[in-house]
Structure 1
Amino acid sequence: MKYVIGIDLGTSAVKVLLVDQEGEIRYEVSKSYPLIQEQQGYSEQDPNVWVRETLDGLAELIQARPCSPEQIEGISFSGQMHGLVLVDEQGQPLRNAILWNDTRTTSQCQEIYQTIGEERLLDITKNPALEGFTLPKMLWVKQHEPDIYERASTFLLPKDYLRYKLTGQLAMDYSDAAGTLLLDIEENTWSEEICQALEINITICPPLVASYEQTGTLLPQVADVTGLSTSTKVFAGGADNACGAIGSGILEEGKTLCSIGTSGVILSYETSNHKDFGGKVHYFNHGAPGAYYTMGVTLAAGYSLSWFKEVFGEDEEFDDFVHDVETVPPGSNGLLFTPYVAGERTPHADAMIRGSFIGMDSSHRRKDFVNAVMEGITFSLNESLEIFRNSGKKVDTIVSTGGGAKNHHWLQMQANIFNATIIKLSSAQGPGMGAAMLSAYGCGWFDSMEDCAEEFLKVEQTFTPQKDQVHEYEELFKIYQDVYVQTKGLNERLASYRS
């Protein structure tokens, strides 16, 4: 039997999956690490911690002896998007990585618009200038830490830095590069126009490769530390959402993904890079050959629920915390939640907005609040789905992954709010499985990614819309959409009181 490894470098942990030729996960390791949040809006991590925890995870896998090191043919990666890692000529990080959920760069986004122009930026990158993207972070360092910026030889995204430390080769795949605001999506090249306009030396941009391309083999010192073989092939990998799409079988027109992790994503497959959504949703390169995807993002999806649990059920297991939500009717007995606890991205690119509970009274119990949080997250994702449908896309089947796929009540809620059949796969490791599939395809196990998906991915359960609840949620969704408009001004006035 042959094996591949998928490494998913997430925001809170790195997950290492050992997958066999039939798509079965034979061993799994997770290593967590903290966020560094020195002040409001800042979110950073030490890149060397990613490397250390990944090496520890790989070593643990080999020590468990699920197979011999020589049976592991390839390794590939999925990684958190947008994070900025600046390295010097020796490949050492010059500062902590600035992560995707860091919101310090509002003025840099304005600078990009003023210099490039909003329409021209959309023409080139297909995406608006948002605080989470990489380019604003680079401009922030250039302005506030000029000494560090001047010493930077190359910028990388998180999983690309990790892969560099494992192979010694610098590269970035197209799916991650598309989230930097520096890639010309139609030409699939770094944009000289943007770099010149913002006085960025284009040589700081790393070589571009496809997600399934081989980018070296393991360094001898990495093999020594982990027990892996130096002959193990290493493939570029992709952005977490691109890999999540692959690991969920979103590999043809009409397929849609709902992924609820720290952030939440509604993602739909596209065969063309010429569509125009006017910046309302993101438009990125897929990890599959010649493909793209449109994507709407809820900035604090699963994070909203984990925040609420941390405050009101810190010592409880998740299943205990949510065990009685199925008794709560649609609308949570008149309680509505907006998941803007860290700002919002789609359809409101607003770093200042904050969450709300609307309609509280003394009859409400904790289960009503938990259910309202689940509904609010799903309503936010439905706003992205509505944009897709209004553009003419047919969406009747959605693969649901992440934390939102762990609770049957929440899966049925998604079916009712989205008015679509929800599919739960037997494997919930979307991005990690997607990374493993890229490796399997790169190793030549399959003629296409579709063939790989047919072998690796299996449906566990489906949830169909309940007509009476679909109607109730359609009316509740209209109320939900009013909350942003009604609270935007209030949140701007409250901003100065935030610590």
Structure 2
Amino acid sequence: MVRKIINILAIDIGTQSIRAGIVNSQGTILAVSQQLQEVDSPFPGWAQQQPKIWWDLTKQVISDVIKKSKVEINSIKAVSTCGQMHGPVGIDKNGNITTEWTQIWMDKRCENICNKIRENFDESKLIQITGNPITTGWPSFKIKWIKENQPEIYNKTKWFLVPKDFVNYQLTGVASTDPSEASGTYLYDYTTNKYSNYMAEVLDIDLSKFAPINNSYDTIGKTQPKISREIGIPANIAVIAGGGDFMVSLLGLGLVKEGTAVDMTGTSTLFVVHKDKPIINPSVQNLRHVIDGWIPFTILDTGGLSMKWCKDFLSSVNLGEISYEQMIEMAEKISSGSEGLIFYPYLLGERKQDNIHAKGCLFGLTLNHKAGHIARSVMEGVGLALGRDIQTFKNIGVDIKQVFCVGGATRNKLLYQIKADITQIPHILTDEPEASLRGCGLLAAFGLGFIKSFEEIVFKENANCIIIEPDKKKAIEYKALQLEFNRMYDHLIGYWKGLVVPNPS
């Protein structure tokens, strides 16, 4: 029996862009539309965006992609959304936005909140409940900051919703979240897969302000007629709970097997593995997958942004726009090691408490260094930071034989050759440029019964995949550079800790 094929509206609320796609229930992408956006950083460590802009751009890309796809409107049977994680959007009892600016995942203004929790509670015991170390990334600390610094906003807020849940709320009027996001609130008990009343007491925030948890593939509501008319989609079609962007991207690539290791570089660089259970370790963070299992990970907040910073910097001194391709060409002309120039890619600090005030740093500048050296050292710095993270996983017994790569940075093959050479592990550049949108479509297809098992979509290497093998001749050179990177990193921690950072709160 031939299965019926439907179309699904997929949405990705990214950090640097918002995208929509029409995806059919077999995972084929028919059309994509995108709108770019910026991150506002008014003070050191702050990173914020406006939910109103998210929604305005979402409506725009939906309209654009429907026109571009030329599909029959009534063939769209569901909406499925993923997005950047952890940024709490306040919604009042009337459905109005209470947080004009939302602290996004990389915002670190709640550092003092985190410090107070560490001072008053045993973090090692909290990790045994949440599965996670205390970091500024988790929404509960951001919400605690709102409670202490903007009590009028906290008090009138009925729901705090992360970006994709905010969009789902606009579509349905229903407040809901999924396990991938709930597990990252720092209010989630990984042993029960439920919110923890105890953790809410620890943080002294109201658990009722957090949305009910549904499976990532569950239907949480239907599109409201008024909104449907406004954006040009059918009314009363299913809206799927969705999930965090990088877990949904893994699904979109078909990377559903336990043990898979993935480098995901877009704005940040995430190094993730798919495991049956979380890895309880203070250096590793854990989130529920959108399918069965967990995603232990490490993160470099500016892994991808470092490339953009470098391009913008070189453009500013060149008095003219330099493309990524030109930047890569500059770097290709420079030998491995950048003639002793080392870049530390911590432009927005780190999530680790001992290095939250880290800064970007070019170490070892000489009169011989030119623009190309800076370009290559930035790529090597991101690779060396990845090398530290991979070693963290190896030290706790995770066997990594190959690394799948996804994200906008995969267009930069030099970057991944550098990563392969530093880690001496093959890197596979996957051939699905819209993994997150495809993953949204597949979540909906499974939830609505058009896919019987996620095993149907297991990743298969094909001619379009690029396998980057490590250059064995560079192993000794990069091993020495990694040791030097690590040695200086340890010294810089002491310097960064002593920095006086103004706190506008």
TM over 0.5: yes
Higher mean C-alpha displacement, 431-440 vs 446-455: 446-455
Aligned to 2:344: 338
Look up the match of 2:17.
Answer: 13
Q: Does 1:58 align with 2:62?
A: yes
Matched residues in 1 for 2:11 and 2:139: separation?
22
| Distance in 2, Cα, partners of 1:26 & 1:493 | 53
CA contact (8 A) 1:332 1:372 kept: yes
In 2 relative to 1, CA 151–21 (structure 1 residues): closer, same or farther, beyond 3 Å? closer
2:457 corresponds to which residue? 452
Shift of 1:492: 3.7
Q: Per the alignment, in what secondary structure is the counterpart of residue 237 of structure 1? A: strand
Contact 2:328/2:414, CA 8 A, preserved across alignment: no
Give the distance between the partners of 1:417 and 1:82, measured in 2 at CA. Answer: 31
Please point out which of 283, 286, 289 is paired with 2:286.
283
Q: Is 1:327 the equivalent of 2:333?
A: yes
- The one of 213, 219, 227 aligned to 1:222: 227
Q: Please, what TM-score do these two structures have when normalized by structure 1?
A: 0.94
Give the superposition deviation at 1:373: 0.4
CA separation in 1, counterparts of 2:334 and 2:177?
46
Identify which of 300, 303, 318 aligns with 2:302.
Answer: 300
2:187 and 2:503 mapped to 1: Cα distance?
Answer: 32
For residue 47 of structure 2, what is the amino acid of its counterpart?
A: S
Residues 459 and 441 (structure 1), Cα distance of their counterparts in 2 relative to 1, 3 Å cut: farther
Residue 305 of structure 2 aligns to which amino acid in structure 1? Y
Q: What value does the CA root-mean-square deviation take over the aligned residues? A: 2.1
Aligned length: 495
Alignment of 1:325-474 (within 5 A): 325-345=331-351, 350-454=355-459, 460-474=465-479
Given the two structures, how large is their TM-score scaled by the length of structure 2?
A: 0.93
Q: What SS class does the counterpart of residue 312 from structure 2 fall into?
A: helix
State the match for 2:77 in structure 1: 73
Measured after TM superposition, the shift of residue 474 of structure 1 is: 1.6
Say if 1:328 and 1:371, in contact at 8 Å, map to a contact too.
Answer: yes
Aligned to 1:183: 188
Q: Which amino acid aligns with 2:256?
A: L
**For residues 70 and 471 of structure 1, do their structure 2 counterparts lie closer, same or farther at Cα, with a shift above 3 Å needed?**
farther
Of 139-148 and 484-493, the range deviating more from structure 2: 484-493
Q: What corresponds to 2:253 in structure 1?
A: 248
Q: Is the 8 A contact 1:263 1:303 kept in 2?
A: yes
Number of the residue aligned with 1:87: 91
CA–CA distance in structure 2, aligned partners of residues 68 and 397 of structure 1: 42
Separation in structure 2 between the aligned mates of residue 433 and residue 141 of structure 1, nearest angstrom:
35
Kindly state the Cα deviation for residue 114 of structure 1 after the two structures are TM-superposed: 3.2
Contact 1:247 1:453 in 2 (8 A): no
Supply the distance in 2 between the matched residues of 1:5 and 1:257 (Cα, whole angstroms). 26
CA apart distance, 1:57? 0.7
Q: Would the aligned equivalents of 2:355 and 2:496 in 1 still touch at CA under 8 Å?
A: no
Contact 1:263–1:300 (CA under 8 A) maintained in structure 2: yes
Equivalents in 2 of 1:213, 1:457: separation in Å?
32
Q: Which residue of 1 aligns with 2:43?
A: 39
Per the TM alignment, residue 457 of structure 1 is displaced from its structure 2 partner at its CA by: 8.9
Deviation at 1:294, TM superposition (A): 0.6
In structure 2, runs of 5+ residues without a counterpart are none
CA separation in 1, counterparts of 2:434 and 2:159?
31
Unpaired segments of 5 or more residues in structure 1?
A: none
Identity of aligned residues (%): 26
**Superposed CA offset, 1:337-379 (max 9, x none):** 1101110236x75221112111111111211111110111111
Report if the CA contact (8 A) 2:55-2:167 is conserved. yes
> Equivalents in 2 of 1:25, 1:349: separation in Å?
43
